[in-house]
Amino acid sequence: MDEVLTLFELNSLVHEVIEANFDDEYWVTGELSDVSTPAFGGHFYGELVQKDEEEDRIIARARITCWARTYGLLRLRFQKESGETLRKGLQVKLLVQVNFHEQYGYSLNILDIDSTFTLGDLAKRRREILQQLEKDGILHDNQELPLPRLLKRIAVISSSTAAGYGDFCKQLEQNEYGFHFDVQLFPAVMQGEHVPESIISALESILSEQPFDLVVIIRGGGASSDLSDFDSYELAACIAQYPLPVLTGIGHERDETVLDFVAHTRVKTPTAAAAFIIEHQAEEAALLDDLYLRITHSAEERILREEQRLEHQKTVLPLLFTNFIQRKQNGLQLLCQRLMNAGNQRLEREQHRLELMKQRLNSLDPKLLLKRGYTITTCGGKIVRSIERLAEGEVLTTQTEQGEIYSKVVLCKKN
């Protein structure tokens, strides 16, 4: 083929082919990339890509445009129905016309957008994150932490310039109960693709600071469309496993994020977060007041009972003392009587024993023995009981009833 075409001529042929064969409108799905959000009244430009689900790589791409008139209508309707804006990373379903321009090449012109598809994709993504958290066994970990009875030291994650943060602090400071709270801000990005990593960094910083009782993540203000930035598995897993209770107040009445499902407690707004903390303290204060009244009442009743008991003791004590003295006197009298009886009995026993001894002594009186015909022989004043110690020539005295007989030892002879 010898014919040589210029680039414009070739693109013109392609243009004719596309116009001849792609004159219909097509619904196409994909992910928005390189989005250029126009100023008011401007055109919308961007790129639509399709990624491989397993490898997360782009397998198809096309330039997309939406003219200002159409974009103005679509943007308002889409944001009202889905709560989202046409931003990078959003899954969309677009009604397009296929265009090919000799100078600008292939593109898709947006005619309409199906907001229900995006809503379904966001819900699907949120559902998948929650299912993974539950599969990992950490979905309810933070909710199971005990909420401290005293919420005094509050760590707040928010944008330092956010109106919601100011409202939160103001409401805590001006609470009707006069409670004092120590609030410390840990600034974080609360809008855009860097939200997860910024909040995770703030959570890590909190743990390195002084101990806190509660972590509060508040957003306040901003579009509802930005809430999908909080639907991150990494951020949700970090909060689910965080060692301190986490309170979230990042949305509006009808909005929910993954963080709301993993946080210890969720409320809708920053002011609602402050109200929750104040109410918690008020309940604890009421409980303490009730305990104080119960203890005081119990103490007063105890004091009254003791006073009554003392009065009763004052009345009864003299009588008890008199009865005690009487019992002791009766006991002493009884003891004296018992001692006297015991003494008399002992005296009688001793007298009887003496009589017996006297009789025994009388029965052993030598005079009685002499009357019976017995004699008593002595030698040198000692009674002679054996002849072994007698010697010849010793004088013996033999006593009888009538008198004494003196004799001299001539011979000692044993039997």
- pLDDT value of residue 254: 53
- pLDDT value of residue 97: 92
- pLDDT value of residue 63: 93
For residues 82, 108, 35 and 73, what is the CA-based torsion angle, rounded to 10 degrees? -40
Convert the chain into a string of H (helix), E (strand) and C (coil).
Answer: CCCCCCHHHHHHHHHHHHHHHCCCEEEEEEEEEEEECCCCCCCEEEEEEEECCCCCCEEEEEEEEECHHHHHHHHHHHHHHHCCCCCCCCEEEEEEEEEEECCCEEEEEEEEECHHHHHHHHHHHHHHHHHHHHHCCCCCCHHHCCCCCCCCEEEEEECCCCHHHHHHHHHHHCCCCCCCCEEEEEECCCCCCCHHHHHHHHHHHHHHCCCCCEEEEECCCCCHHHHHHHCCHHHHHHHHCCCCCEEEECCCCCCCCHHHHHCCEECCCHHHHHHHHHHHHHHHHHHHHHHHHHHHHHHHHHHHHHHHHHHHHHHHHHHHHHHHHHHHHHHHHHHHHHHHHHHHHHHHHHHHHHHHHHHHHHHCCHHHHHHCCCCEEEECCEECCCCCCCCCCCEEEEECCCCEEEEECCCCCCC
Of 7, 323, 311, 265, give the one whose Cα is nearest residue 147: 265
CA gap 190, 244 in Å, rounded: 21
Domains and CATH numbers, the chain: 7-113 (2.40.50.140), 133-283 (3.40.50.2300), 368-408 (no CATH)
pTM: 0.56
- pLDDT value of residue 224: 53
The tens place of each residue's pLDDT in the chain, 415 residues long, gives 568 889 988 888 888 888 888 878 999 999 888 888 776 778 999 999 998 877 778 899 999 999 999 998 998 888 887 777 788 878 889 999 999 988 888 999 999 998 888 777 777 788 888 899 999 999 999 999 999 999 999 999 998 888 889 999 999 999 999 999 999 999 999 887 789 999 999 999 999 987 999 999 998 655 555 677 788 899 999 999 999 999 999 865 556 788 989 999 999 889 999 999 999 999 998 898 888 899 999 999 999 998 888 888 888 888 878 888 888 888 888 888 888 988 889 888 889 988 888 888 777 777 777 777 788 888 888 888 888 778 888 888 888 888 888 888 888 877 6
- pLDDT value of residue 135: 93
